[in-house]
Amino acid sequence: LQKSLNETFGADKYSEARKEVLTNMFSRPMQMALYFCTGVLEDETLFRHYALNVPFYTHFTSPIRRYADVIVHRLLSASLGASSPIKMEKEAIQRQADHCNDRKMASKRVQELSADLFFSIFVRVRA
């Protein structure tokens, strides 16, 4: 797919933007990762990462980037004994995870709508 996109879009000043928008549109059907508290889920198969084929997986970026990453850093640090335990019940952690998931989905939807708008303008200008 990437090779086809590279060959299709030429070298004008908008080629990279067109390729980026269409790549984004092609990746939409992929299932989005969700935050959850492992203490509220009984089915450990839900902890696995399908593409990496690992039974237990967590993901985070720099804790200055997103609140969800701050929570993950704190929980990992506590679980490794590097800091004191988190004074939150697992249900409270799950509520935070649900809120982060809601915000992430809303943000993704705005991003998709923006790409749709750009694509519509692109098609109209090229038609």
pLDDT per position as a tens digit, 101-116? 999 899 989 988 998 8
Token pair of 36 as six digits: 């959850």
Band of residue 30 on the pLDDT scale cut at 50, 70, 90? low
Distance CA(65)–CA(57), nearest Å, equals 20
Instruction: Catalogue the long-range contacts made by 13-22 (C-beta closer than 8 Å, 24 or more residues apart).
Output: 14/122, 17/118, 18/122, 21/115, 21/118, 21/119, 21/122, 22/119
91 shares a domain with 71? yes
pTM of the model: 0.65
**pLDDT at residue 108, rounded to an integer:** 86
52 shares a domain with 9? no
**What's the structural domain count of the chain?**
2
- Helix, strand or coil, per DSSP, at residue 70: helix
Task: Find tokens 């850093």 and name the residue.
Answer: 73
40 shares a domain with 82? yes
The residue range of the domain holding 21 is 1-30
